[in-house]
């Protein structure tokens, strides 16, 4: 098909951009420990606090490291999204 892009999928060593949402509050000082991802709080009036991490990670091992850190901090995962899939 002319003009269409072909997404070839991910491999374990493929760098990708991710958005991760967790329940709980982290501040930007955690960015370095979380692979350099940007750390922002979602505004919430009467809902539990939500933190959004967004950024480029070198590979799936780096993603695993970020997720393990969040687990160690007892922050429940709400979503993990690969932004390069679009």
CATH code for position 70? 3.30.70
Write the pLDDT tens digit of every residue in 3-60: 555 657 778 899 999 999 999 999 999 999 999 999 999 887 888 999 999 999 999 9
Sheet strand arrangement including 38-42 = 38-42, 50-57, 16-23, 77-82
Structural domain includes residue 33: yes
Write down the residue that tokens 């692979």 correspond to.
35
Structural domain includes residue 54: yes
3-state class (DSSP) for residue 35: coil
3-state class (DSSP) for residue 30: helix
Structural domain includes residue 40: yes
pLDDT category of residue 64 using cuts at 50, 70 and 90: very high
**In whole angstroms, what is the distance from residue 14 CA to residue 56 CA?**
11
Determine the structural domain holding residue 37 and report its residue range: 16-85
């Amino acid at each position: 098909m002319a003009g269409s892009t072909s997404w070839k999928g991910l491999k374990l060593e493929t760098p990708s951009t991710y958005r991760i949402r967790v329940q709980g509050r982290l501040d930007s000082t955690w960015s370095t420990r979380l692979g350099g991802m940007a750390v922002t709080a979602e505004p919430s009036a009467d809902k539990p606090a939500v933190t959004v991490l967004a950024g480029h990670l070198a590979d799936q091992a780096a993603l695993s490291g970020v997720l393990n850190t969040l687990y160690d901090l007892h922050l429940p995962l709400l979503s993990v999204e690969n932004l390069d899939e679009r």
